[in-house]
């Protein structure tokens, strides 16, 4: 829990703490400012609902022989993930059901996200969609899309044809 600077009153007089929060823990203050999501906090002022559902973040890298997509999906199983590849599109979607049961319990914090997600990626030419491999290990989804070996360049002889008069 973060330490908060508390003002104490003494006979109606407000007393400031001896040191400000920034002077006590500048690294913590900097970290908190960097993680501050202004859009989600200010969205109610503009009538916008905050993000709902699962947020799936991906790393995509290219190796010599494949494109590799990785996503952290804690709490998901293989049955919760749907992977499709059609044309030049790779689509990864999933659903995590809400585990909360309202049996008169009081929730003080509910930060885990539930619901659907879907991400589509444009694939370059030269991929082998017949040999796409996907595996889930310790909450990390890894999808490997192999590249097709480039066809060798073939030189074509141009023949001249005599024009008929």
Q: List CB contacts of 83: < 8 A, sequence separation 6 or more.
A: 90, 91, 92, 132, 134, 143
Q: Could you tell me if 91 and 120 are in contact, meaning their C-beta atoms sit under 8 angstroms apart?
A: yes
Which residue spans of the chain are classified as CATH 2.60.40.790? Answer: 58-146
Pick the CATH number of 58-146 from 2.40.10.340, 3.40.50.2300, 2.60.40.790, 3.20.20.70: 2.60.40.790
- Whether 16 shows a pLDDT value over 60: the answer reads no
Asked which of 30-44, 73-87, 117-131, 138-152 is least confident by mean pLDDT, the reply is 30-44
Residue 165 is predicted with a pLDDT of: 63
| Statement: the pTM of the whole predicted model exceeds 0.95 | no
Q: Which residue is associated with the tokens 């073939």?
A: 154
């Amino acid at each position: 829990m973060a330490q908060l600077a508390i003002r104490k009153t003494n006979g109606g007089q407000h007393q400031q703490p001896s040191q400000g929060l920034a002077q006590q823990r500048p690294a913590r203050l900097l970290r908190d400012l960097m993680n501050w999501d202004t859009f989600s906090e200010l969205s109610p002022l503009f009538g916008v609902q905050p993000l709902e559902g699962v947020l799936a973040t991906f790393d995509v890298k290219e190796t010599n022989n494949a494109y590799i997509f990785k996503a952290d999906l804690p709490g998901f199983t293989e049955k919760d993930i749907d992977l499709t590849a059609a044309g030049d599109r790779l689509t990864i979607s999933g659903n995590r059901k809400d585990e909360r049961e309202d049996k008169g319990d009081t929730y003080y914090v509910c930060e885990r996200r539930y619901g659907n997600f879907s991400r589509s990626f444009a694939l370059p030419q030269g991929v082998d969609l017949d040999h796409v491999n996907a595996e889930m290990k310790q909450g990390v989804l890894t999808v490997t899309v192999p590249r097709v070996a480039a066809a060798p360049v073939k030189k074509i002889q141009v023949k001249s044809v005599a024009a008929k008069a």
